Amino acid sequence: MPVESDEAIRDILELQRIAVIGCSSTPGKAAHDVPMYLLEHGYDVIPVNPSADEIFDRPATDSLSDVDVDADIDVVCVFRPSDEVSGIVDEALAREDVDVVWTQLGIGDDEAASRAEDAGKTVVQDRCMKAEHRRLVA
């Protein structure tokens, strides 16, 4: 079952390194503004977007699989359509460093979430990291 409690969300928000799948270089888009907010609040954001070389003056990788295996990703934050979540979860499961898969508002895949949980990952679906940070931490 995906994480629901405020205490569990707070614990996740204490993690620091976040790979943002679908991170955007376009201000005004949630996939840009949310990771920018996270950067401004001390998180280490790793942008993942095959259409960009750099976002927030940080190198962008084409996929989660392309992020250095030594990066020690804590959270995979997903800004992609729900029908792409399953493949992203597969990539997250192929890595030993990912602890949490978080899908943003309006995004979810219950079957993929169950697979991630069965593999020992924590899952948050259909919630905004920025909104949850503002509500529980800031």
Range scoring the smallest mean pLDDT among 67-71, 83-87, 106-110: 67-71
The band of 3, judged by pLDDT with boundaries at 50, 70 and 90, is confident
In the chain, % of residues over pLDDT 70? 99
H helical segments located in the chain: 6-13, 30-40, 85-93, 110-118, 129-136
Residue 1 has pLDDT above 60, yes or no: no
- What pLDDT score does 34 carry? 98
This prediction has a pTM of 0.95
Q: What is the pLDDT of residue 138?
A: 82
Q: Among residues 125, 84, 79, 82, which one has the least CA distance to residue 101?
A: 125
- Over residues 89-116, the mean pLDDT reads 96
- Give the type of residue at 75: V
pLDDT of 84:
97
The ranges assigned to domains in the chain are 6-136
State which fold the 6-136 domain adopts.
Rossmann fold (3.40.50)
